[in-house]
Amino acid sequence: MWNWQYANWPNFVYSASEFEHYESAFLQKAGEMHGSLKHVNKEDQNTLIVTLISDEAYKTSAIEGEQLNRDSLQSSIRRHFGLNTDNRKVPPAEHGISEMMLDLYQHYQQPLSHKQLGEWHKMITNGRRDLREIGRYRTHNEPMQIVSGELYEPKIHFEAPPSTQIQQEMEQFITWFNGSEKGQNDALPTLIRSGIAHLYFESIHPFEDGNGRIGRAISEKALSQHLNRPTLIAIAHTIEDKRKAYYAALQNSSRDLHIEQWLHYFCEMVLTAQDRTQQMIDFLIGKRNFYQIFSGQLNPRQEKVIGRIFREGIDGFTGGLSAENYISITGASRATATRDLQKLLEIGAVTKTGERKSTRYYLSDFSK
């Protein structure tokens, strides 16, 4: 049996007290992030918002196996915020997922509705010609199944309710979601509501395609509603980083109404996503402080390399900066590169690990 076939569906079973420590950690981290943002200027805040929204758009699509163009995503989102960008033509898929993420960012406070879900589906299927139903719940007679393996020997991971039940199921889901928001009679703790919303929606699987992307957006909507501001946390990035664990957690909770295992996974994933966003904020603060501290102390070659490292973001150069990297970026001789790197080390702009050919340089941390 699948979870939706039980007589007491959708009454999920869990012990709320098991998740209280997650809830406290989430709210504490959210407060710390909000406080950190006050130390970031408006320009860097815009950079953070564009980076996060575009990265989430890219990653939520990558989870479903769709590889989009990062530059097109950023261009579309920057254009929406009235920021400088190129005049590139943005493909339909990149434009559509950007639209949905921006709508989530701007209108998270609105109650969930059939109309909003339909609009989101139109956005993320922008340019598609292979779907029978766009912007509407599925109506086909065939079973809606999540399948892998060869055609002659398919493995069925999940089968959703038949199309004839979808309208009723979605009426019930939307009523539950709006009624469980903070301040409502049936309000639920933030992470439990967000986690259930994702699993519940995925179990119904109301659209012909795009359910995962919309389900993750609904989860983020729930978190934003509780905080009364956009969460701006790297949920899709964190899920995509360990995609197998995500699908395993969903599948393990598809045959039963006991969902403690799913909620543990979901809560830990959200806290990890918050840490990722905090690292991005700290990175921006550190970048600003770095340039203030070393203003006027860097030669053009050093400035070029430092700028290149910062453009790599919080993950930086994989394995650190080598002398070969420095030479490749600047075109300097080995002797000049050695002097430049030694000077950066002396003034405290970088730290060093290893010796000789294994020597690697890392930007010093000035985020605190």
CA distance 121 to 98: 12
Q: Which of 218, 267, 273, 235 is nearest to 108 (CA)?
A: 218
- What is the average pLDDT value for the chain, to the nearest integer? 93
Query: pTM for the full model?
Result: 0.89
Percent of the chain at pLDDT > 70 equals 99
Structural contact between residues 210 and 125, judged by C-beta atoms closer than 8 angstroms: yes
How far is it, in rounded angstroms, from Cα 161 to Cα 169? 9
How many other C-beta atoms can be found within 10 angstroms of the C-beta atom of residue 246? 19
pLDDT at 368: 75
CATH number of 296-363: 1.10.10.10
pLDDT grade, residue 42 (50/70/90)? confident
Kindly indicate the confidence band of residue 156, based on its pLDDT and cuts at 50, 70 and 90: confident
Instruction: Give the distance from CA 229 to its chain's centroid.
Output: 16
User: What's the CATH fold of domain 3-283?
Assistant: Fic-like fold (1.10.3290)
Determine the distance from the C-alpha atom of residue 50 to the mean position of all C-alpha atoms in its chain, rounded to a whole number. 12
Least confident among 15-29, 62-76, 202-216? 62-76
pLDDT of residue 154: 77
For the cut 90, the answer to whether the pLDDT of residue 134 exceeds it is yes
Taking residues 271-293, report their average pLDDT: 92
Domain ranges, ordered by start, for the chain: 3-283, 296-363
